[in-house]
Amino acid sequence: MSNKAKEGIAETVRTVAWALVIAGVFRTLFFQPFWIPSGSMKDTLLIGDFLFVNKMAYGYSRYSCPLALCPIPGRILASEPQRGDVVVFRHPTTGADFIKRLVGLPGDKVQVKDGILYLNDTMVPQRDGGTFEEVFEPQGSQKSLPRCQNAPVGLGGTCINERKIETLPNGVEHAVLNTDMNQADNTPAFTVPAGNYFFMGDNRDNSMDSRFSQDVGGVGYLPAEYLIGRADRIMFSSAGRSLFFFWTWRSDRFFKAVE
Residue positions annotated with a catalytic role: 40, 100
**Rounded Cα–Cα distance for residues 231 and 143 (Å):** 24
Nearest to 129 by CA among 175, 84, 172: 175
Q: What is the 3-state secondary structure (H, E, C) of 184-242?
A: HHCCCCEECCCCEEEEECCECCCCCCCCCCHHHCCCCCEEHHHEEEEEEEEEEEECCCC
**Rounded Cα–Cα distance for residues 119 and 108 (Å):** 7
Is residue 150 helix, strand or coil? coil
Q: Give 82's DSSP letter.
A: P
